[in-house]
Amino acid sequence: MSTPLDPTNGPPPAAGAPPKPAMPPMQSAPPSAGGPPPAASSYQSPPMQGNSNEPPAVETAKVVGSVRSLEDLHIDELLHIVVDKNASDLHISVNSEPVIREDGALKRLNYEKFSPQQTQRMMYEIIADEQIHRFETTLELDFSYALPKGRARFRVNLYRDRGAVAAAFRLISSRIPTCRELNLPPILERITERPRGLVLVTGPTGSGKSTSLAAMVNHINTTRAVHIITIEDPIEYLHTHKLSIINQRELGTDTKSFNNALRASLREDPDVLLVGEMRDTETIHLAITAAETGHLVFATLHTNNAAESIDRMIDVFPPGQQEQVRIQLANNIVAIAAQQLLPRASGPGRVPANEIMIATPAIRNLIRENKTHQIPSMIQTSGKMEMTTMDQCLRDLYTKGLVTLDEVMTRAINVEELKKMISTTSATGGSGQR
C-alpha cells in the first residue's frame, strides 16, 4: 500500500504543452478552510475528523488580488479544502484552476490557473523516484496518498493531458461506513452471510461501488471469523483485523496483476476474496473458479444492470468456451447489485439507487438457457424476495420526493417503462418532485 512519502524532486519540468480549452463556467467555491463543513451526503460516511493536535504544516498560497497564487503551493492545501467541504474529488489540470466535485457538481476554487511546470512540480513532490520512472514510462500511474496525521486518504490517478501532467484525487473516508449508513438495501448485509458463491457490485465510475463493497466486507469482518483477502488498485479503505483476519494487496506494490494475485490467493487459505475489478478473461475465469471451489467472492464490473453484467462476463470468452462459462456462472452466482448515485432533490448529498438480483432457481435457469433478456421481468415480479429493477428503484426514490423527475429520467434503463410506472403510482396517490 502506498503511504505519504517524503517529497522527491523529479526531473526538470517538461516543455509547456499547448493550452487546454477553457472549461465551461461552473459555480465558484471559495477555498476557505474555516467554518463547519457542509452536511454530508446520505451515501457518504460522516465527515472525517482531523487530529486534535495543531494542524499539519502546509505551504499557504499567496494572495494576488482576489485570486490565490499557486507558486510554491503544496497539494496538501488543496486536499484539506476537499476534506473541509466534504467534496468527493479534486482535479488538477493545466490552464485550469483547481476544481472539486461537491455533491456531484464541479466547482472551481479561487486560485490561479495551473501551468505545466506547476502541475508537474506539485505531483512529483508526493511520489517516489520509482513511481516517477513508472509514470514517465507508462504515462499513467495509480497510487494512494494520505494527509499528515491520518486526516484523510485519497485514491490518485496521474496521467498526461496534451503532454502535461494532470491528476484526479478521490477522497476516501478514514472510517468505513455501514450498509445502513449508506442507505443500501438490507438484503446486501444478508448476502455477506453466504458461505460461498460470486457477488457482483456493478455500476459506472463514481457510483460508489468501492464504498459499498467496503461496507459489506467490514460487515463480514465484524460478524464472522474468516480469512479475507482483497486485491485492489489501489487500496482504498483500510481494514483492520476484527473477528476476521484481513489481508489487503495492492496492484503494483504487493502484486503484478489481478490474475496473478487471485491465482496465488487460492493457496493462501482464504474464505472470502474481493477482486477490485475484473478486467480480463483470465481474472473473470479465476473469480468464477474461486466461487466454484467454495469461496465467497466479491467483484466489480462497469455495467448498468444485472442482465448486462451476466452477458459481459460470458461474452469476453471465445465462442467455444461460452457455454461452459454460462453453466459455471449459473451455478455459482449469488447476487448482483447494480448501483447509481443521484443528487438529492433538495439539500446537499446523494442518494443510492440499486438494482438487486438474487440468484433463485428461476434466475439460474434463465442464465443457463441463455435467456438473460428475461431477467429484468423476473426481477420485477420478485419483489417478495427483495429483488428490484433499477427503474423500480428510481420510481420509488422519485415518489418519496428524494430525487427529481428529470434526474430519474436521465438514469432510467427503460425511459418509457419508468414513465408508465410513475404514472401508475401517481394515479394511486404517489407523489414526487419535478
- Determine whether 6 is exposed, middle or buried from the number of CB atoms within 10 Å of its CB (0-12, 13-18, 19+): exposed
In a domain, 180, yes or no: no
pLDDT tens digits for range 260-309: 999 999 999 999 999 998 989 999 999 999 999 999 999 999 999 999 99
What CATH number did the domain enclosing 98 receive? Answer: 3.30.450.90
Does 152 lie in the same domain as 285? no
Does 191 lie in the same domain as 329? yes
Count of domains observed in the chain: 2
In a domain, 76, yes or no: yes
Instruction: Name the band, by pLDDT with cuts 50, 70 and 90, for residue 1.
Output: very low
pTM: 0.76
Stretch 21-46: mean pLDDT: 43
Residue % of the chain over a pLDDT of 90: 76
What single DSSP character describes residue 209?
H
The answer for residues whose C-beta is within 8 angstroms of residue 368's C-beta and 6 or more apart is 326, 327, 330
Does 98 lie in the same domain as 204? no
C-alpha distance across the termini of the chain, in Å: 45
Stretch 348-356: mean pLDDT: 94
Domain stop point among 388, 404, 428 = 388
Domain of 303 in residue numbering reads as 187-388
CA distance 378 to 309: 16
Residue type, 33: A
Does 205 lie in the same domain as 98? no
pLDDT tens digits for range 385-417: 999 999 999 999 999 999 999 999 999 999 999
Instruction: Name the band, by pLDDT with cuts 50, 70 and 90, for residue 348.
Output: confident
Query: Which of 287, 296, 280, 309 lies closest to 202, judged by CA?
Result: 309
Residue 230: what are its φ and ψ, rounded to 5°? -115, 145
Does 252 lie in the same domain as 353? yes
Q: Is the pLDDT reported for residue 367 higher than 70?
A: yes
pLDDT tens digits for range 87-97: 999 999 999 99
Q: Is the pLDDT reported for residue 56 higher than 80?
A: no
Stretch 183-209: mean pLDDT: 96
Does 362 lie in the same domain as 262? yes
Does 195 lie in the same domain as 167? no
Q: Is the pLDDT reported for residue 64 higher than 90?
A: no
The answer for residues whose C-beta is within 8 angstroms of residue 428's C-beta and 6 or more apart is none
In a domain, 292, yes or no: yes
Q: Is the pLDDT reported for residue 109 higher than 90?
A: yes
Higher pLDDT, 36 or 184: 184
CA distance 12 to 44: 39
According to the model, what pLDDT value does residue 180 have? 95
Does 294 lie in the same domain as 326? yes
According to the model, what pLDDT value does residue 46 have? 38
According to the model, what pLDDT value does residue 57 have? 42
The whole-chain average pLDDT of the chain stands at 87
CA distance 335 to 307: 12
Radius of gyration over alpha carbons of the chain, in Å?
A: 23
pLDDT tens digits for range 136-177: 999 999 999 999 988 899 999 999 999 999 999 999 988 899
Domain stop point among 117, 143, 172 = 172
DSSP run (H or E) holding 248: strand 245-250
8 A C-beta contact, residue 380 and residue 389: yes
In a domain, 126, yes or no: yes
Helix residue ranges per DSSP H, 125-208: 129-138, 187-191
Does 209 lie in the same domain as 87? no
Does 262 lie in the same domain as 363? yes
Q: Which three cell numbers stand for residue 135?
A: 509514470
Instruction: Name the band, by pLDDT with cuts 50, 70 and 90, for residue 7.
Output: very low
What CATH number did the domain enclosing 235 receive? Answer: 3.40.50.300
In a domain, 10, yes or no: no
According to the model, what pLDDT value does residue 175 have? 87
CA distance 146 to 3: 6
- Determine whether 13 is exposed, middle or buried from the number of CB atoms within 10 Å of its CB (0-12, 13-18, 19+): middle
Q: Is the pLDDT reported for residue 346 higher than 90?
A: no
What single DSSP character describes residue 412?
-
In a domain, 407, yes or no: no
8 A C-beta contact, residue 421 and residue 392: yes
Query: Which of 4, 168, 205 lies closest to 78, judged by CA?
Result: 168
Does 246 lie in the same domain as 112? no
According to the model, what pLDDT value does residue 279 have? 87
Residue % of the chain over a pLDDT of 70: 83
According to the model, what pLDDT value does residue 432 have? 58
In a domain, 181, yes or no: no
Stretch 32-41: mean pLDDT: 42
Instruction: Name the band, by pLDDT with cuts 50, 70 and 90, for residue 189.
Output: very high
In a domain, 279, yes or no: yes
Stretch 361-385: mean pLDDT: 97
Does 283 lie in the same domain as 358? yes
Residue 342: what are its φ and ψ, rounded to 5°? -115, 140
Write the CA distances from 347 to 40, 330, 343, 344, integer angstroms: 10, 42, 9, 6
8 A C-beta contact, residue 329 and residue 199: no
